[in-house]
Amino acid sequence: MVKKALKIFGILIVILVIAVISIPLLFGGTIKDKIRYLANEHVNAKVDFADVDISLLRSFPKASVIIDELSIINFAPFEGDTLAYAKKISLDMSIKELFKGAEEAISVQKFIIDEANIAIKTDSLGNSNFDITKASEETNTTDNEEGGSFTFELDHYEINNSKLLYKDDVGKIALLMTNVNHSGDGSLSGENILLDTESSSEVSFSLDDTQYLNKNALKLDAELELDLENQRYAFKENKALVNQLPLEFEGFVQLFEKYTDVDLSFKTPTSDFKNFLAVIPEVYAKNLDGVQTTGDFSVNGVIKGKADDVYIPKMDIQIASHNASFKYPDLPKSVQNINIDTQIKNDTGLADDIYVNIGNLTFKIDQDTFAAKGSLRNITTNMIVDMAVNGTLNLANLDKAYPLELEQQLNGILKANVNTKFDMLSLEKEQYQNVKSTGTISLDKFTYASPDLPSEINIEKANVNFKPETITLDKMEVTTGKSDLAAEGTINNLMGFLFSKQDLKGNFDVTSEVFAVNDFMVAGNETTEEQTQDQTTNDALKIPSFIDATLNFDAKKVIYDNLELRNTKGSVKINDETAYLQNVTSNIFDGGLAFNGKVSTKSETPNFGMNLDLSKINIAKSFSSLELLQGLAPIAKALTGALTTQINLNGNLNNDLTPVLNSVKGNALAEILDAKVNTAQTPLLSNLDSQLNFLDLDKLNLKDIKTSLSFDDGKINVKPFDFDIEGIKITAGGSHSFDMNMDYNVSLDVPAKYLGNEVGGLLSKLSDQESKDMKVALPIGISGNFSNPKINLNTGTAVKQLTQQIIDKQKEKATGKIVDEGTKVLTDLLGGSKKDKDSTKTTTDKPEDKLKDAAKDILGGFLGKKKKKDTTGTKN
């Protein structure tokens, strides 16, 4: 009998194992069909998932369903946006739920969501990406509104390592919750559910572009009572931690058809001043262990009232502290006499009427006391700021009393006594007449260093005076690196710069003994991979983007790269990462400079454009210092003397704001006023001098020579120009590149005798004077590069030209002799000696007589003399 019973039990076990294995295979399609059904029948979005896995072993005796990589992608107007994504969703349910059809409701007792990412958005037109539920007529929903969906009879649920974004462009609200972890255990009793929950997250919150929370830690242990029938959700015995500030709160939220009723109150459980330090984000406050405090700090608040499309709940939040102090154990100084009296209130229920009163805010470090009071009103629309600040701060004491993580050490004494009142809309519209400020701010012995700046900035003294409609900067004395400057002027929008993220605008007069441009250039934030690998590569210099100002300057000495300018005057307007230089004059290279142009670092590749006028500058000094001039005329390094030039050019800049020569485009007009040549300074002239043995180029004296140049994409074109060496006319022109390759043609109008023995025989056909006066063009081709030139003296062409000239000369001589003889004959005929004609004499056969006769016939034809008619009357 026992044996038979064991056999039956064994058979049951086998059947059970088969069932456990086969049921997921047989009914897995039910859950997949359920998800597809919900997607197709209820959602206007693209729903997708990688897989659905069903198991009876993971949560036995319940069935376990795992959905992998579930995503919901929006249609228009949020086409392609991901509304929700979850790496894994786990559901536990009764096995019987697997046998239900696709349109039947499935009841879930437990769910876990891992690594979800939810983005809820409302655009500026009021469209919401979460509005994806199909209308009732589309879904064919029956009276049972839960038909075909999931229902929940929860014992436990979790949301792990997730992220939630809520962004409302209409209300200008942005809420970001990261590292979201939430869990709850519940018990079901009719329509009432009691949940015991734990939550943690890092919260960032901004309203109307003002950041109120930035990755602030939030923890919440809440006991929630959910009255589903009346949609009333109550908070019981709840404890929260904002950063490290403990709060207790209670109350309820109840949903009605047209509004929501809110009644919440919260307070700090103790009044220890550590509560205040706990409000500060932990990354700044550090560990509060061992911090010594005196005095109190408390937060008490009530939020109560109706919320609908017009109203928000009224609120009254009190933040207070009296005669408190704190000292960190590892810091030398303490903060004392701390008093806080602040209210956040709304008495009407209208969002525009939220206001903040700062009745008293004071603290003291050593002997320095600082106090502020005022109010913020119309916070949600056009915020009105009304503040008064009075006190002294030794900036060096800040990180000695509080654990600030500063990139650099601050020093200096800040004194302020300022009253200001303005509204944010006036700042945004730059209506500065509506900004009313009075008082003074001074800064003495201030030092500031930053990795973005090449040198520490030292402000010996600076005073800012506030008047109702103007803010003036009294003489400010600054030194940094090699530079010093003194500045004074007007600041147009200090409040807009401080409170509205505007560029700092103003007009300033600046004087300086020494101004090194690189001392005021900030390093760019972006570096390439090659720059990262090469530690010697400098960061790109950037013109500060937050400055929109005009500076009129007068500097005794300006240093830019390796240039030194003296007595520099002019103005520079800085705007949009671009510096516009206007009417700049200076002394450089023993001559004068006039300059207009711009430098911009706004684009990825910095660029420039300029009109440069150099007057009577020293050629040797300028061409040894300026790489650009070296590239334009490399041969100039062999010259000593003076030069005047006008240059118009534009192009790209390197990271150190020096020109990228191959990108330069423009033109130049150069005039050599007076210069001498040293051929040893350049291989080109040295080689040319050795081949032209009839010339001594070192004796060349260049004076009043003008030439024009144009340059484009790394090539310099020189228009042909003429000059003279010891009576020999020379014409030169051609082109070269910034990499020093060249292609020039030079023609010398040389005396023929300089061509040597090759032309000796030809010249012998000429008289001594003719041989001395005969000149011929000697073409010279110059190629290669300036360090290794190739010179081609084309004497063959010169000899051919000389031969032709001599032939032409001989023809001219022969023709001239014939003409001379003819002229003599004509003279004899027309105006020679008069002799009596002897009609009886017979004509001789002398050649000259025949020539005379022929000449007579020719002259008769030329003069149109008529011949006699013959006896027959016919014409000859």
Spatial CA neighbour of 561 closest among 580, 584, 577, 538: 538
pLDDT in tens, 447-460: 877 776 778 888 89
Domain count, the chain: 2
* Domain final position from 406, 427, 450: 406
Residue 739 burial (CB count, 10 A): 11
Confidence class for position 864, pLDDT limits 50, 70, 90: very low
Residue with more model confidence, 551 or 95: 551
Q: Return d(Cα 681, Cα 687) in angstroms, integer.
A: 11
Domain assignment present for 291: yes
Residue 529 burial (CB count, 10 A): 7
The pLDDT of residue 139 is: 45
Domain assignment present for 237: no
Contact call for residues 307 and 313 (beta carbons, < 8 A): yes
How far does Cα 757 stand from its chain's mean position? Answer: 69
Within this chain, do residues 166 and 273 fall inside the same structural domain, yes or no?
no
* Domain final position from 364, 381, 406: 406
The pLDDT of residue 147 is: 44
The pLDDT of residue 12 is: 41
The pLDDT of residue 314 is: 92
Q: Prior bond to 77 cis, omega within 30?
A: yes
H helix or E strand, kind and range, residue 853: helix 847-863
The pLDDT of residue 528 is: 38
Phi/psi at 784 (5° precision)? 80, -140
Average pLDDT (33-54) is 72
Residue 595: C-alpha distances to residues 507, 586, 587, 612, 833 (Å) = 21, 9, 11, 5, 81
pLDDT in tens, 324-338: 999 888 889 999 999
Which range in 266-280, 387-401, 485-499, 762-776 is most confidently predicted, on average pLDDT?
Answer: 387-401
Which range in 70-74, 234-238, 596-600 is most confidently predicted, on average pLDDT?
Answer: 596-600
Residue 180 burial (CB count, 10 A): 21
User: Does the pLDDT of residue 473 top 60, yes or no?
Assistant: yes
The contacts of residue 415 (CB under 8 Å, 6+ apart) are 391, 392, 440, 441, 442, 443, 444
User: Does the pLDDT of residue 761 top 50, yes or no?
Assistant: yes
The pLDDT of residue 179 is: 93
Q: Return d(Cα 39, Cα 674) in angstroms, integer.
A: 89
Within this chain, do residues 345 and 255 fall inside the same structural domain, yes or no?
yes
Contact call for residues 406 and 414 (beta carbons, < 8 A): no
Domain assignment present for 761: no
Which range in 2-6, 288-292, 486-490, 513-517 is most confidently predicted, on average pLDDT?
Answer: 486-490
Count, residues in the chain: 876
Within this chain, do residues 269 and 380 fall inside the same structural domain, yes or no?
yes
Residue with more model confidence, 701 or 443: 443
Domain assignment present for 347: yes
Domain assignment present for 699: no
Q: Return d(Cα 118, Cα 162) in angstroms, integer.
A: 8
Q: Return d(Cα 802, Cα 197) in angstroms, integer.
A: 110
Spatial CA neighbour of 666 closest among 708, 711, 631: 711
What does the buried/exposed string (b/e) look like for 247-258 if buried means 16 or more CB atoms within 10 Å of the residue's CB? bebebbbeeeee
Average pLDDT (287-295) is 82
Average pLDDT (643-667) is 84
Q: Which range among 32-41, 118-127, 193-202, 717-726 shows the weakest confidence by mean pLDDT?
A: 32-41
- Is residue 14 classed exposed, middle or buried when 0-12, 13-18 and 19+ CB atoms within 10 A define those classes? exposed
Within this chain, do residues 165 and 301 fall inside the same structural domain, yes or no?
no
Amino acid of residue 433: Q
Q: Return d(Cα 202, Cα 560) in angstroms, integer.
A: 48
Residue 798 burial (CB count, 10 A): 22
The pLDDT of residue 871 is: 42
User: Does the pLDDT of residue 406 top 60, yes or no?
Assistant: yes
User: Does the pLDDT of residue 834 top 70, yes or no?
Assistant: no
Within this chain, do residues 17 and 160 fall inside the same structural domain, yes or no?
yes
Q: What torsion do the CA atoms of 169, 174, 180, 183 make, to the nearest 10 degrees?
A: -70
**Structural domain of 304:** 243-406
Residue with more model confidence, 796 or 101: 796
The pLDDT of residue 334 is: 92
Contact call for residues 628 and 659 (beta carbons, < 8 A): yes
Within this chain, do residues 121 and 250 fall inside the same structural domain, yes or no?
no
Q: Return d(Cα 499, Cα 424) in angstroms, integer.
A: 8
Tokens 């010891």, residue located: 726
Domain assignment present for 116: yes
H helix or E strand, kind and range, residue 648: strand 639-652
Write down the mean pLDDT value for the chain: 76
The pLDDT of residue 535 is: 36
pLDDT in tens, 802-814: 677 777 766 666 6
Which range in 322-326, 408-412, 662-666 is most confidently predicted, on average pLDDT?
Answer: 322-326
The percentage of residues in the chain with a pLDDT greater than 90, rounded to a whole number, is 13
Domain assignment present for 109: yes
User: Does the pLDDT of residue 768 top 80, yes or no?
Assistant: no
Q: Return d(Cα 732, Cα 106) in angstroms, integer.
A: 96
Q: Return d(Cα 759, Cα 802) in angstroms, integer.
A: 8
How far does Cα 488 stand from its chain's mean position? Answer: 29
Q: Return d(Cα 194, Cα 224) in angstroms, integer.
A: 6
User: Does the pLDDT of residue 412 top 80, yes or no?
Assistant: yes
Confidence class for position 56, pLDDT limits 50, 70, 90: low
Average pLDDT (416-440) is 85
The pLDDT of residue 225 is: 84
Q: What are the structure tokens assigned to 96, written together?
A: 């019987």
The percentage of residues in the chain with a pLDDT greater than 70, rounded to a whole number, is 73
Average pLDDT (243-271) is 86
Q: What are the structure tokens assigned to 277, written together?
A: 């330090």
Domain assignment present for 179: no
The pLDDT of residue 20 is: 41
The contacts of residue 601 (CB under 8 Å, 6+ apart) are 524, 540, 541, 542, 543, 577, 578, 653, 657
The pLDDT of residue 137 is: 46
Which range in 227-241, 255-269, 696-710 is most confidently predicted, on average pLDDT?
Answer: 255-269
The contacts of residue 840 (CB under 8 Å, 6+ apart) are none
The pLDDT of residue 769 is: 65
Residue with more model confidence, 218 or 876: 218
Phi/psi at 290 (5° precision)? 85, -5
pLDDT in tens, 669-683: 888 877 677 666 677
Within this chain, do residues 20 and 161 fall inside the same structural domain, yes or no?
yes
Tokens 């933040």, residue located: 319
Within this chain, do residues 154 and 250 fall inside the same structural domain, yes or no?
no
Question: In the chain, what is the greatest distance between 2 CA atoms, to the nearest angstrom?
Answer: 192
Which range in 54-63, 733-742, 769-778 is most confidently predicted, on average pLDDT?
Answer: 733-742
User: Does the pLDDT of residue 732 top 90, yes or no?
Assistant: no
The pLDDT of residue 127 is: 85
Give 398's Cβ-side CA count (13 Å radius). 17
What does the buried/exposed string (b/e) look like for 755-787 if buried means 16 or more CB atoms within 10 Å of the residue's CB? beeebeebbeebeeeebeebbbebbbebebbbe
Q: Prior bond to 61 cis, omega within 30?
A: yes
Confidence class for position 851, pLDDT limits 50, 70, 90: very low
Residue with more model confidence, 263 or 214: 263
Within this chain, do residues 112 and 30 fall inside the same structural domain, yes or no?
yes
Confidence class for position 417, pLDDT limits 50, 70, 90: very high
Q: Return d(Cα 407, Cα 409) in angstroms, integer.
A: 7
Residue 142: C-alpha distances to residues 137, 146, 235 (Å) = 10, 9, 35
Confidence class for position 115, pLDDT limits 50, 70, 90: very high
Q: What are the structure tokens assigned to 157, written together?
A: 């649920």
The pLDDT of residue 316 is: 94
Residue with more model confidence, 787 or 303: 303
DSSP for 253-322, written as a single string:
EEE-SS-EEEEEEEE-S--BTHHHHHHS-HHHH---TT-EEEEEEEEEEEEEEEESSSB--EEEEEEEEE
Tokens 């006036």, residue located: 426
Within this chain, do residues 249 and 152 fall inside the same structural domain, yes or no?
no
* Domain final position from 377, 406, 435: 406
Within this chain, do residues 157 and 300 fall inside the same structural domain, yes or no?
no
Q: Which range among 141-145, 310-314, 766-770 shows the weakest confidence by mean pLDDT?
A: 141-145
The pLDDT of residue 215 is: 81
The contacts of residue 467 (CB under 8 Å, 6+ apart) are 437, 438
Q: Return d(Cα 239, Cα 233) in angstroms, integer.
A: 16
The pLDDT of residue 820 is: 56
Average pLDDT (182-200) is 77
Amino acid of residue 147: G
Which range in 174-188, 271-285, 748-762 is most confidently predicted, on average pLDDT?
Answer: 174-188
Contact call for residues 92 and 56 (beta carbons, < 8 A): no
Q: Return d(Cα 399, Cα 377) in angstroms, integer.
A: 32
